[in-house]
Structure 1
Amino acid sequence: MHQDVNYDHLLDELGTQGSLAKEMGASLLHGYVDQDGVQPIGDFGPKLLTNQFDNQIWDQLRSELNDATEYAFAVAFVTDAMVSNLKPLFRTLAARGVKGRLLTSTYLQFNQPDMFEELLKIDNLEVRIATVKGFHQKGYLFKHRDYQTVIIGSANLTASALMKNQNYEWSLKVSSLNNGEITRQIEENFEAEWRDAKPLSEDWLDGYRKAYQADHQVNRAVHDYVTPSDEPGKAQQVKPNQMQTAALNEIEALRLAGKDRGLVVSATGTGKTYLGAFDVRAAKPKRMLFLAHREQILQKSCQSFQNILGGDPANFGLYTGGARDKNAKYLFASVQTLSREEHLHRFSPDDFDYILIDEVHHAGAESYQRIMDYFTPKFFLGMTATPERSDDFNIFNLFHYNVAYEIRLQQALELNMLAPFHYVGLTDYAFADQYEEEVDQYRNRKQGSKPSRKQEQRAVELLTSKERVNYILEQTDYYGYSGPVLHGLVFCSSVAEAEALARAFTAAGHPAKALSGADNGDRRRQVVHELENGLIEYIITVDIFNEGIDIPCVNQVVFLRNTQSAIVYVQQLGRGLRKYPGKEYVEVLDFIGNYKNNYMIPIALTGDNSYSKDQARDTVDIEPTVGLSTIAFDEVAKERIYESLSKVKLDGLANLRDAYQNIKRRVGRIPMLSDFLKMDSVDPQILATVVKPRNYNRFLLKMGEPVEVTDYEDQALSLISVELLNGKRRHELILLRLLLQRSVVKEADYVRALKEAGCYVNEATLNSVRRVLSLQYYAERAYPSRASYGGVALVNYDSDQKNYQMGEQLAQALTKRGWFYQLWSDAIETGLLRAERYQANEQFTIGERYTRRDAVRLINNPYDMNGQLVSGYRFTSEETGLKEAIIFVTYKKAKNIRKEINYNNRFINDHVLHYYTKNSDIKLDSANVVKFMGGEYKLRLFVQKSGAIDETEFYYLGTCRYLNNSVQKENQDGVPRLAMDLLLDHPVEHNRYHTFID
């Protein structure tokens, strides 16, 4: 039908190519009239948002807000959690002078008074309460410079409605020019209701709070897991959660296999103690011993076991400094007490047939070892959230490498097993210039700076000054907390600072007490009790709440110190992640000063162990969500993290050695590259290329391992490590895997294997694979050369017989089935595992990173460019018969770059790039310009943000095409340029787009 309609004529009436009206017209015709007859231009067409399959409404909302000149929300239901998520963004908008309006309601009294109180803190947001009966709107209107966007549908302003995989929502995003009819109707309706609505004020809120409380009985609930029984000794009807059910099955499987030990690695707050109780109930031991290093842990654990196991309370007893219930069936013992000879030998070695060790990462201590060596139970169960150790003790070896179950923090958050965190990275208080240096020395004193005692005292005075304390409290008040009462935990750097801050907080009307390692157990318990019961608002501490102490009510965590360890950071973050009645989330405020270790923050927040700077930058740039947890940074905090990242060598051998030893302890042997990938550790590509001539065997030699390969084997390993291990093209790896299984591979079988793996197949790609594996792709000279990769073909292709055969020298090396065979087959397996992040049926995957050399190979160029592709673009040579181009853009070039190569390419919007050709391509009839404009070549666009020394990869943004009539001559810094607009076939993903242009 569309063939009979002249859409081109209709679109021409809307404006010239590249005009907003024409782009919007094409997108709307495509979306509403004819998806086949009209090619959309940009991202102005209607779009259904569902929260499924990376279609998160929250991301779209953030994107629209970032670009808006003003905004208006009409939403019936609003939660405090979502207001908390939006506060950092509202602050950013306020700095740009952008204001907004929110029209909401008291419909069904869903909206809580505390939420309205938080809204009053947002200066650039005007809030009114609708008076219309049954107000149930769910619409978001964003005004941009020349157009408007509306998101309207089923999604309220709640975390469950806007964030991925919580609720299945339908919301429609539509756009129009400023005089569009549909947005005019929506805006007029909003304005009419806005005029009749009541402004949100303190007086209105007082009245609403009274009415709300009258209709809602406030009951103080108990912990999520257990409802107390009226009958002492009766077990509670508590069912294992998702983690516990899976872990119980695996632990039982270990016992059935005859294993006498098992290790559970489980994030804080996921229910390790109840897991232990459930397993004891399943194992039915005659006697059980529970070991821990703190009496507070023992007391709480004993109560938890009673809740699950039930029975006579006399069966449960403590063996500590103050209790000696030696004969209890279920004995909860302090390691410090029981490890003493006079206490240990009061028991027989076989008294307990089940021993459970909590926080088992401490088990390397002599006291633990003495107990474990003495007793002979049928089963040892160890539990920890952090098995990684900074010393040489191997927890995994202690439990014979029997890891029954593992769930880390990020996975637990994704599964909604913990309270989500709302993290905000804030700029710390800015002192006058003359004080910044001594404060920074104090902040980084554990990393080489050694201030004198007088300087340290002066720094503490500054850090606890009235000005800084007021600044901190302004932020904690603005960002708030979840629940009716503040229960805050503050981590700082020293005892003197903690004590001074506690006094200053209290004087400012926020009662606080300091705790440190010098405080005994009684004082710690008393202060925690005061926090839990609302007698104080804050505990200010120095690293004593890293583990073992549960304060589930904590709803605000404040970091006022340097991040010395990602593990400690996660432990401290975990203090607020336990679920608790009335707590929807924990607010995490990180005051980021000039710390050398700031680079650890994005690594700790996402649990990323890849040692990739690009990945760490992504966390700061994209501000990803983890389940319902959100991450946000203010601009100065971002810059401080970028600066720290630029100075650290994440993939230095010192860091990699620690990661290597952790995995080696985990598997109990020399680890293979695939081990690192399977255990979410260092990116194998880093390990395999960090030591020249770049292969994993060379890295193992640096680690002191007794490994050995021949010179040829070393060179062959370098090829697979440098060129293929990244998995960006599966084709070579699949062929090499087939050749490990048989001596000759028919081309038909190879093609079938490629198709079964979902790979694209064409003659150009097959020919490229042949050239790479025969080494014809590589030059005789320059690095990498054919000689550097062994000099002879890894794989030979018989064009007559249409089959592949392994090269003679490689075949002989592999026949020995020695160390080289293990490394070679492991590299193939690892490359194919790593390839799962890339689309098999496409040459490139939008949003993934590629080097220039990657791109040259993947467009099937017949020759490697030896890393010399430094110009902005390259077209395939005529001899290949291919018509492709790769275009590389560094969005923000270095300040001191030569003006001759300072092409200030810029995005006009998320789907049009204003692009400059090279100096040599200044004429309209030059060969490359004709190729750009002709439409015959497939133009592939790769963009990186800054071109920093360590930023060698570019994000692939997809294919693009020349916008007709957009070419023009311009002058930049006195240098004549030829400019044109390139239209992307896929708009830049909104989060990535903002990282480029910000």
Structure 2
Amino acid sequence: MDQRQQLIENIQHSLYKGFIDKNQNGSSQFSPKLLTNKYPETVLTTLLQELKICETFMFSVAFVTEGGLATLKAALYDLKQKGIRGRIITSTFLNFNQPKMFKELLKLENVEVRLANAKGFHSKGYIFEHHNHYSLIIGSSNLTDNALKANYEWNLYFTSLEHGEVIYQLKSQFEEAWNEATPLTKDWINHYKQLYDLKPIIKQNDLNVLEFDKYYLTSSLVKSLTIRPNKMQESALKNLAALRSKGGRKALIVSATGTGKTYLSAFDVRNFSPKKMLFLVHREQILRDAIQDYRKILGGEEEDYGILSGNSKNVDAKYLFATVQTMNRDLYLKTFEKDHFDYVLIDEVHKAGANTYLKIINYFTPQFLLGMTATPERTDRFNIYELFDYNIAYEIRLQEALEEEMLCSFHYFGVSDYERDGEIIDDTTKLRTLVSSERVKHIIEKIHYYGYSGKALRGLMFCSSKEEVYQLSIALNYKGFRTIGLTGDNSLEDREKAIKQLTDGEIDYILTVDIFNEGIDIPCINQIVMLRQTQSSIIFIQQLGRGLRSHPSKEYVTIIDFIGNYKNNYLIPIALSGDQTLNKDNIRRKASNTNFLKGVSTINFEEIAKKKIFESINNTNLSTLKKLREAFIELKNRIGRIPFLYDFMEQNSIDPEVIINYSDNYHNFLIKMKESLPAISDYNLSVLNMLSKEILNGKRIHEAVLIEALLHNSVISKENFIQRLNNHGTYVDDTTIQSIENIFTLKFHVQKDIKKYKDKPLIDITNGYYQLNEEIKGSLKNSHFSTFIKDILKCAFEKNKRYDRTKAFTLYKKYSRRDACRLLNWPHDDSSTIYGYRAKHKTCPIFVTYHKQDEVETTQNYSDEFLAPDLFRWYTRNRLTIDSPEVKNILSYKETGMDIHLFIKKDDGEGTDFYYLGQVEIDMNSVKTETMPDGKGNYLSVVTMNLLLEQPVPQDIYHYLIES
């Protein structure tokens, strides 16, 4: 059967499944699908996936916004690099589309745009042309960021061959509208803008509710305003009140930049009603802004509010706002009695480890002390949490704040940095290259292409050095931009003057290094440019956060991150996702599938930039002693004690499996962390090694259930064990029970592991009864040892929640060859002999590395590949034919009752684990003998066949696997 006939059959199967019988067997690659923006699959993810693989595209959309266009810009740029073009028809219907948006459309060099002349043009359709078929999205979604990612929409996603009636009608309609449409030009935009500016967009009398900076101002014709707490603030205020009711006198608020910490503190001060309050911060400008916010909440007379700083000494005020630098001086500090202030509040409290802060904190004895920060993590090991008695009243990080729509949305673009003679910018690049005319031109091209939201540019650039700040500022000014460079050498007055100039529109950019990471408030910023490598995820989020405050002048902020050959590029997906597991697989997935952000914010990488990130992940050892120790100390500081493995899970820190892979067991890890612990015997350590390796990952819950039972009962029967498994809702059969017994009696293990586990079965089995061996039972009296076992079990049960307990394998989870041997109930660990596949015990696991390394021998470099998300072309070992016994055994799988399981990983950089893609059936019509070169001028026989998956691979995993 040729490819075209196969395609026709697949589409026929898919249409039958989609419109007649959903239980239809066969490929469902092209099944029609309803797109509703139900997380994690959105209209945007489908649209981007189609753009990646199309040969051309046609969009017919009435409404387009800058934000909607921004979500596609990186993909459209990559298409331009491939020489792929497209067309867009849009409209002026209802004057919805803004003039600036049309200017953004003109930036798309590979996209031709026209304006529909049809009256009431209101279509919403996306057509993608492929080599031999069309994909279409037709429904309710315009090209706006909300419609593509957040709104509840109805769109039908389906496939057609070129002679299909529907595609014929759609293309005809498109071409008809296209031929009658007006080309988009600069002159047209100028004319449209004149008309657009004459139309009043909002009638003031219709405005009943204003939303300003995410605090709700309720009004009748906007005459009398009252500020109410937002969702985050309400929860935090309840927690603070509950804490104080129990006698708590200190609390810490961890809240992302822009989520309203200052307003929150003002609400709490109002609730507390102190006679005297002290607000401490490190910069005078923050004090002045804070006073304005406090007056909105607390009211009162102007003289109630005072400032203690270098320029002001209003020490008698009811509400005193002071800089740390001034209050720290004995001349002022000792003028106050220690209990002068009922309520003391410290902003940016992560700085409180400094002696200047501690001197003030240790002096005053308020009734209540509140600390606020966006980033409590510190590198100097000072324990901020201990300072506040480990009372975290509320915590909301960037990802949660975006989900709650508390911040301005953003569109992040990871773009490739300047390349010269095949070399991309890295941390050794000389200054003359960083500010060369070619790199400046490259920077300008990117900031122009990705743009900004709003009428006027208000930008912030983070550079890599003081010299780059000053020289790049000069270079940009020469190119017509209005910029100012600021570093730590500039005075406070210089900084405040530059901020005012930026806010007032007198300059376009502030260029800076090492300052402005925190402690500034410029809500109008609509573009942030990162021209330096990411040194830490904390600093990355601090810098990104400079643009996340809401402001009437912008709908979103554009983040443009220039990604060069930096070894720390792996930190970018960590920072954006907040994933602190140090698990490489998690980080790769976050770099590939960036749809983890809810709401309308998006993360986009140009292909070259994404490649640099993957290289960094592959080349970086995430589990170094330094990284592990930093995470350990941070968690220990947070909870105020030595953490257990489960604490790492509960606090979204390191994946316990990373710790175990590093040190075999947690006792060993704590010793490496320099913790003093009771001694554990060598045998008991080997028991912890085994339980950590076999149970902790949670891939099969059965072993954990048995150990948990034996911790509470010295002996249990097999019947009792089976009943416990049934109570957990997991599968049970004789071969699985035997497999579990083989694990604990060491019969399953290879000799190396048997030696590691001291060649002593953990469990004795007699007459259908289980019990721990006598040495373990005696050791359980050691609470240190038993606590470690209980911790392993707790992690196992928690991790197992991510797996389907009714089956041996869970679709799209990752398993090693050894895992497969265990979960398929093989009596022995034969993982070292599986290689690509092995048919044994009525099962045949197939393991495929999708992208082979270049050095793989020609005779092993098979062309295994996806033909579709639910169809995989697979090759057997070489020197085999259809008549080979090994092949005959596999082909007779239905007659013999053999199950075939498919496991795939992207490349060897992923380690030993493979994605489980389910059981497969063989398309018998596709089986044939082929030949492949051996690299020596000869050809070897090999059998190839198509494997039909039980379910199509989800698009995010599918494209992650196939992308090179």
Q: Provide TM-score, normalisation by structure 1.
A: 0.91
Alignment correspondent of 1:843: 808
User: Could you tell me how far apart the structure 1 residues matched to 2:437 and 2:667 are?
Assistant: 57
Q: Is 1:215 paired with 2:199?
A: yes
User: Could you tell me how far apart the structure 2 residues matched to 1:352 and 1:947 are?
Assistant: 61
SS at 1:238 equivalent? strand
Alignment correspondent of 1:951: 911
Q: Deviations over 1:280-339 (max 9, x none)?
A: 111111111111111111111111111111111211111111111111111111111111
SS at 1:677 equivalent? helix
User: Could you tell me how far apart the structure 1 residues matched to 2:805 and 2:224 are?
Assistant: 53
Q: Is 1:224 paired with 2:213?
A: yes
Alignment correspondent of 1:97: 83
How many angstroms does 1:763 deviate by? Answer: 3.1
Equivalent in 603, 612, 623 of residue 651 of structure 1:
623
| Residues 358 and 964 of structure 1: CA distance in aligned 2, closer, same or farther (over 3 Å) | same
Show structure 2 runs of 5+ residues with no match.
Answer: 205-209, 934-938
The residue identity in structure 2 corresponding to 1:70 is T
How many angstroms does 1:916 deviate by? Answer: 0.8
The residue identity in structure 2 corresponding to 1:641 is I
Alignment correspondent of 1:468: 439
Alignment correspondent of 2:920: 960
Contact 1:225–1:238 (CA under 8 A) maintained in structure 2? no
User: Could you tell me how far apart the structure 1 residues matched to 2:720 and 2:56 are?
Assistant: 60
| Residues 575 and 757 of structure 1: CA distance in aligned 2, closer, same or farther (over 3 Å) | farther
How many angstroms does 1:920 deviate by? Answer: 5.7
Q: Deviations over 1:601-643 (max 9, x none)?
A: 2211211111122222223323334122222222322232233
SS at 2:559 equivalent? strand
Alignment correspondent of 1:178: 162
How many angstroms does 1:903 deviate by? Answer: 1.9
Contact 1:260–1:380 (CA under 8 A) maintained in structure 2? yes
Equivalent in 753, 768, 772 of residue 784 of structure 1:
753
The 5 Å alignment of 1:560-575 reads 560-575=531-546
| Number of corresponding residues | 946
Equivalent in 783, 800, 805 of residue 771 of structure 2:
805
The residue identity in structure 2 corresponding to 1:104 is T
User: Could you tell me how far apart the structure 2 residues matched to 1:945 and 1:229 are?
Assistant: 53
Contact 2:45–2:595 (CA under 8 A) maintained in structure 1? no
Q: Is 1:897 paired with 2:897?
A: no
Q: Is 1:317 paired with 2:287?
A: no
SS at 1:868 equivalent? helix
User: Could you tell me how far apart the structure 1 residues matched to 2:799 and 2:631 are?
Assistant: 19
Percent identity over the alignment is 43
| Residues 312 and 750 of structure 1: CA distance in aligned 2, closer, same or farther (over 3 Å) | farther
User: Could you tell me how far apart the structure 2 residues matched to 1:491 and 1:211 are?
Assistant: 39
The residue identity in structure 1 corresponding to 2:13 is A
How many angstroms does 1:954 deviate by? Answer: 1.2
The residue identity in structure 2 corresponding to 1:738 is A
Q: Is 1:52 paired with 2:16?
A: no
User: Could you tell me how far apart the structure 2 residues matched to 1:845 and 1:34 are?
Assistant: 26
| Residues 312 and 128 of structure 1: CA distance in aligned 2, closer, same or farther (over 3 Å) | same
The residue identity in structure 2 corresponding to 1:829 is K
Q: Is 1:196 paired with 2:180?
A: yes
| Residues 460 and 884 of structure 1: CA distance in aligned 2, closer, same or farther (over 3 Å) | same
Contact 1:18–1:963 (CA under 8 A) maintained in structure 2? no
How many angstroms does 1:112 deviate by? Answer: 1.6
User: Could you tell me how far apart the structure 1 residues matched to 2:843 and 2:131 are?
Assistant: 36
Contact 2:427–2:533 (CA under 8 A) maintained in structure 1? no
Contact 2:68–2:146 (CA under 8 A) maintained in structure 1? no
Alignment correspondent of 2:296: 307
Contact 2:325–2:356 (CA under 8 A) maintained in structure 1? yes
SS at 1:270 equivalent? coil
The 5 Å alignment of 1:369-384 reads 369-384=358-373
Contact 1:226–1:236 (CA under 8 A) maintained in structure 2? no
User: Could you tell me how far apart the structure 2 residues matched to 1:795 and 1:272 are?
Assistant: 55
Contact 1:813–1:820 (CA under 8 A) maintained in structure 2? yes
User: Could you tell me how far apart the structure 2 residues matched to 1:853 and 1:753 are?
Assistant: 26
Contact 1:335–1:367 (CA under 8 A) maintained in structure 2? yes
How many angstroms does 1:375 deviate by? Answer: 0.6
Segment drifting more, 186-195 vs 711-720:
186-195
Q: Is 1:346 paired with 2:346?
A: no
Alignment correspondent of 2:900: 939
Alignment correspondent of 1:602: 573
SS at 2:863 equivalent? coil
Contact 1:42–1:985 (CA under 8 A) maintained in structure 2? no
Segment drifting more, 511-520 vs 200-209:
200-209
How many angstroms does 1:473 deviate by? Answer: 0.5
Segment drifting more, 523-532 vs 26-35:
26-35
Alignment correspondent of 1:873: 837
How many angstroms does 1:237 deviate by? Answer: 1.2
The residue identity in structure 1 corresponding to 2:818 is R
| Residues 978 and 578 of structure 1: CA distance in aligned 2, closer, same or farther (over 3 Å) | same
The residue identity in structure 2 corresponding to 1:35 is K
The residue identity in structure 2 corresponding to 1:645 is I
How many angstroms does 1:843 deviate by? Answer: 2.2
| Residues 441 and 306 of structure 1: CA distance in aligned 2, closer, same or farther (over 3 Å) | closer
SS at 1:967 equivalent? strand
Alignment correspondent of 2:207: none
The residue identity in structure 2 corresponding to 1:634 is E
User: Could you tell me how far apart the structure 2 residues matched to 1:222 and 1:914 are?
Assistant: 55
Contact 1:27–1:39 (CA under 8 A) maintained in structure 2? no
SS at 1:351 equivalent? coil
The 5 Å alignment of 1:581-592 reads 581-592=552-563
Contact 2:570–2:613 (CA under 8 A) maintained in structure 1? yes
Contact 2:40–2:595 (CA under 8 A) maintained in structure 1? no
Equivalent in 458, 462, 473 of residue 502 of structure 1:
473
The residue identity in structure 2 corresponding to 1:896 is E
Q: Is 1:548 paired with 2:519?
A: yes
Contact 2:882–2:928 (CA under 8 A) maintained in structure 1? no
Alignment correspondent of 1:447: none
The 5 Å alignment of 1:434-453 reads 440=426, 442-443=428-429
| Residues 287 and 225 of structure 1: CA distance in aligned 2, closer, same or farther (over 3 Å) | farther
The residue identity in structure 1 corresponding to 2:189 is L
Q: Is 1:863 paired with 2:835?
A: no
Q: Deviations over 1:466-512 (max 9, x none)?
A: 22111101110010011111111101011111011111111111110
How many angstroms does 1:958 deviate by? Answer: 1.9
Q: Provide TM-score, normalisation by structure 2.
A: 0.94
User: Could you tell me how far apart the structure 1 residues matched to 2:848 and 2:322 are?
Assistant: 63
Q: Deviations over 1:563-614 (max 9, x none)?
A: 2112111111111111111322211111122222222222112111111222
The 5 Å alignment of 1:60-99 reads 60-99=46-85
Alignment correspondent of 1:888: 847
Q: Deviations over 1:898-941 (max 9, x none)?
A: 23322221222322222110136434342344324543432211
| Residues 576 and 441 of structure 1: CA distance in aligned 2, closer, same or farther (over 3 Å) | closer
Alignment correspondent of 1:688: 660
User: Could you tell me how far apart the structure 2 residues matched to 1:423 and 1:924 are?
Assistant: 55
Contact 1:899–1:975 (CA under 8 A) maintained in structure 2? no
Contact 1:959–1:986 (CA under 8 A) maintained in structure 2? no
The residue identity in structure 2 corresponding to 1:406 is E
The residue identity in structure 1 corresponding to 2:191 is G
Alignment correspondent of 1:679: 651
Alignment correspondent of 2:190: 206
Show structure 1 runs of 5+ residues with no match.
Answer: 1-13, 444-458, 878-882
How many angstroms does 1:656 deviate by? Answer: 0.6
SS at 2:227 equivalent? coil
User: Could you tell me how far apart the structure 1 residues matched to 2:879 and 2:88 are?
Assistant: 54
The residue identity in structure 2 corresponding to 1:633 is F
User: Could you tell me how far apart the structure 2 residues matched to 1:89 and 1:633 are?
Assistant: 8
Contact 2:880–2:941 (CA under 8 A) maintained in structure 1? no
Alignment correspondent of 2:930: 970
How many angstroms does 1:44 deviate by? Answer: 0.8
Q: Deviations over 1:75-134 (max 9, x none)?
A: 222211110110110111122222111122222222222111111110111112222222
The residue identity in structure 1 corresponding to 2:626 is A
